[in-house]
Amino acid sequence: MAETERVGEVIEASTAGFTAQCYELYQLPPLGNLVKTGDSVAELYGIVCNAATTSLEPGRRPIARGRDEDSEEAIYQSSPQLAKLLRSEFGVLVVGHKEGDKLYQHLPPRPARIHGFVYQCSPGEVKDFGKSFDFLNIILNAHLPVPAEELVAASLRLMSQAHDDRRAFLVAAGKELAVLLSGDLNRLNAILGGLSYD
């Protein structure tokens, strides 16, 4: 099994999603990225649906420090404690799970575990996951901090990179969306508009 990149650690988890914290500030996976967590018994797959860098203590909001600095990096150099006071975390929407060898694109029986490691999915895994488009329905109907259309477009853009024929994959995904959103043309158009890649 290849060593896949670890991108964070679970700090909150429920059936529909989990939140993970990055080990380094700003080393966030991109919006729409496919990530996974869990062990060989039950692996959960999810799409990064939100990312934020906030103060560790909820009551203590960051204050501006750059008045006398020349650049943004200089602020961090002058205040090294910032790395300890801020944290970067990202939210993940669970869209599938793997039991043994079989991949399912519906909600898992049990949520992720706290302190579980979150890994970047390999291109092979992304390609395998993209063989079915059932996960799109989960995204479109979920309660999300960002508009669902943005998330769908972002995740498909990223997923297409794992395929040799990117256009064919996007057309197939587009057709699936046309069926799912047959009653809501505006949403469909918003997503299709975001599916270009150059």
Partner 1 sequence: MTERLGIVVSGSLNKGVEVRLDSSTSIEDMAVGRFVTIEGEKRRFFGMITDVSLGVTDQALTVIPPDVSDPFIAEVLAGTSTFGTLHVSPSLVIGGDADTILEGPQPVKTIPGHFSAVKLATQEDVELVFGTEDEKRFFIGNPLDMEVKLCLNLEELVKRSNGIFGKSGTGKTFLTRILLIGMLQKSRAVNLVFDMHNEYGWAGTREGGPPVKALKQLFPSRVAVFTLDEENARHRGVSTDGVVKIGYDEIEPEDITLLRQTLNLTDLAVEAVYQLYRKFGRSWIQDTLDLKVDQGLPEGLSVHEGTLLNLQRGLATVRRLPFIEPHSPANAVKAIMEHLDRGTNVVLEFGRYRDITAYILVANMLSRRIYAHYQSRVEKADAAGNENMRPQPLVITIEEAHKFLNPEVAGQTIFGTIAREMRKYNVTLLVIDQRPSGIDSEVMSQMGTKVTCLLDNDRDIDSVLAGVSGRNELKSVLAKLAAKQQALIFGHAVPMPVAFQPREYGSAQSYRDFAPPKDAEKDIEKLWD
Q: Which bin fits 106, alpha (ψ -120 to 50), beta or left (φ > 0)? A: beta
165 binds partner 1 (CB under 8 A): no
What are 18's two structure tokens? 């989990």
Which one among 25, 87, 174, 187 touches partner 1, defined by CB under 8 A?
174
124 three-state secondary structure: helix
Which one among 24, 81, 196, 198 touches partner 1, defined by CB under 8 A?
196
Among the listed ranges 31-39, 47-55, 79-87, 168-176, the one in contact with partner 1 (CB under 8 A) is 168-176
161 binds partner 1 (CB under 8 A): no
CB 22 within 8 A of CB 8: yes
198 binds partner 1 (CB under 8 A): no
178 to each of 42, 125, 190, how far by Cα in Å?
32, 25, 12
Which one among 58, 59, 100, 183 touches partner 1, defined by CB under 8 A?
183
Minimum CB distance to partner 1, residue 32 (Å): 19
Label residues 116-152 b or e (16+ Cβ within 10 Å = b): bbbbbbbeebbbebbeebebbebbbebebeeebbbbb
Among the listed ranges 65-73, 105-113, 120-128, 183-191, the one in contact with partner 1 (CB under 8 A) is 183-191
177 binds partner 1 (CB under 8 A): yes
192 binds partner 1 (CB under 8 A): yes
One DSSP character per residue, 86-102 reads EEEEEEEEEEEEEETTE
Which one among 15, 78, 79, 189 touches partner 1, defined by CB under 8 A?
189
C-alpha 27, offset from chain centre: 13
185 binds partner 1 (CB under 8 A): yes
Site of interaction with partner 1 (CB under 8 A):
167, 170-171, 174-175, 177-179, 182-183, 185, 188-189, 192, 195-196
